[in-house]
Amino acid sequence: MPALSGFDSILSISPESVITQPDAKFTIQINISGSDIYGVQFDIYFNQTILGAVSVTEENFLKQNCATYSIPHINNTVGKIKFAETCTGETGVSGSGILYNITFKTKSAGSSTLDFDNVKILNTELQQIYVSFINGTVDVVDCDVNHDGILIRDYSDLIGAYKCFLGIERNCNPINYQDWNLMKREYNCFIEFF
């Protein structure tokens, strides 16, 4: 995790960028680094029309030095997960590690940011620590360009996208003529980049 000057702690989403398909599950980590971390509170917002949170698992970062009390709460209606975790002993934790794993399920094609909000990190003196946070993004890509129901290693989709890109195919709807991004996406779908 990169050190950012002027901040005592860094909260980040890993991986920062996820590319996946509709109706797929994926897991991200909430990472933290800093000194004398005693308690954390934050929210993560996401686009609820693109993603749904399935589960939140508390990991061992704070548990390595103290007993913890954790309250994650998922609200898929508004696209928000609330987190609050604190040590119940006398000492905080220094170093870096994973606070939580979050599993999402994609609903439809599109993009969603994973944005931190309402972030508070406290030390053992219950004073707020200056924190930098690194948000994430999720791109849900529909790999079925010709809508035939075949998603992975579909030669028809790849050849159709290629012909439309070259301008030698007459029926390119919904494929756009000479759309390099579409061609690249279909190629990545074909080689199972996702």
Q: What is the pLDDT of residue 3?
A: 40
* Of the candidates 91, 113, 120, the residue with the CA atom closest to the CA atom of residue 32: 120
The stretches in the chain having pLDDT less than 50 are: 1-5, 194
Q: What is the pLDDT of residue 5?
A: 44
CB atoms within 10 A of CB 100: 22
Q: What is the pLDDT of residue 91?
A: 86
**Residue 159: which region, alpha, beta or left (left: phi > 0; alpha: psi -120 to 50)?**
alpha
End-to-end CA distance of the chain: 24
Tokens (6 digits) for 39 = 């308690």
Q: What is the pLDDT of residue 1?
A: 40
CB atoms within 10 A of CB 109: 14
Q: What is the pLDDT of residue 39?
A: 93
Q: Locate tokens 């686009």: which residue?
A: 47
Q: Model's pTM, two decimal places?
A: 0.77
Secondary structure string (H, E, C) spanning the chain: CCCCCCCCEEEEEECCEEEECCCCEEEEEEEEEEEEECEEEEEEECCCCCEEEEEEEECCCHHHCCCEEECCEEECCCCEEEEEEEECCCCCEEEEEEEEEEEEEECCCEEEEEEEEEEEEECCCCCECCEEEECEEEEECCCCCCCCCCCCCCHHHHHHHHHHHHCCCCCCCCCCCCCHHHHHHHHHHHCCCC
Which residues 6+ apart lie within 8 Å of 54 measured at CB? 25, 103, 104, 105
Tokens (6 digits) for 17 = 């960028």
Alpha-carbon 143 to chain mean position: 20
Q: The domain 9-140 is classified under which CATH number: 2.60.40.680, 2.60.34.10, 3.40.50.2000, 2.30.30.90?
A: 2.60.40.680
- In single-letter form, the type of residue at position 148 comes to D
Show me where the domains of the chain are located.
9-140, 155-188
